[in-house]
Amino acid sequence: MDKILANANFFKDAFPVLLVFLGIVVFSFIITLIIKKYKWSLFRIDRMKGDEFEDFIKEIYELLGYKVVKTKKSGDQGIDLIVKKLFKKTGIQLKRYSSSVGNSAVQEAVAGKKYYKLDRVCVLTNQTFTKSAVALAKANGVILIDRDGLKNLIKKAKKKR
């Protein structure tokens, strides 16, 4: 009988410790989920610096099966990334802005197309494009990827990881 009472006291004394331990495990699990979700969020992207944004987009395209080359930081001739897949080279001009992207980004991409001997060029942003940028891109065959397009790229990349 004394043994049974001793075991009961042990569990009575250990129960609060067990609860704290389980609480820590659950809290850690929730924090891990939040961090993983945050990594792929537009909220995070909107707060990135230019280099972070380039690295993030590079990672996305690599997950999607592209070979990706970053151009040099200064004098990149309007192209930040060159992505290759199935013998096609696409230059990407990245714009992590807090407002709409205008004509200059499209002009830079057009200039980079010949400089890097690319098959096509793209401007990718975390925002939207002005009407004049859309018109200029259409006239020059430049692909535009706006905030919604970026969301779709992120979804596809998340499925690949």
pLDDT value of position 5: 45
Residue 56 · residue 48 · CB < 8 Å = yes
Report how far residue 79's alpha carbon sits from residue 151's, in angstroms, rounded to the nearest whole number.
21
Q: For position 12, what pLDDT does the model report?
A: 63
What pLDDT is stored for residue 52 in this prediction? Answer: 93
For residue range 59-110, list pLDDT tens digits in order.
Answer: 999 999 999 999 987 766 889 999 999 999 999 999 999 999 999 999 999 9
Whether the model clears a pTM of 0.85, i.e. scores above it, the answer is no
For residue 78, what pLDDT is reported?
Answer: 85
Q: How confident is residue 42, by pLDDT bands cut at 50, 70 and 90?
A: confident
Would you tell me the crossing angle of helices 50-63 and 147-160 to the nearest 10 degrees? Answer: 50
Task: Give the SS3 label for residue 151.
Answer: helix
**Is-contact 144 122, C-beta < 8 A?**
yes
pLDDT tens-digit readout, 121-157: 999 999 999 999 999 999 999 999 999 999 999 999 9
Q: Is the pLDDT of residue 35 over 60?
A: no
Q: Is the pLDDT score of 55 beyond 50? A: yes
Mean pLDDT of the chain: 86
pLDDT at 10 over 60: no
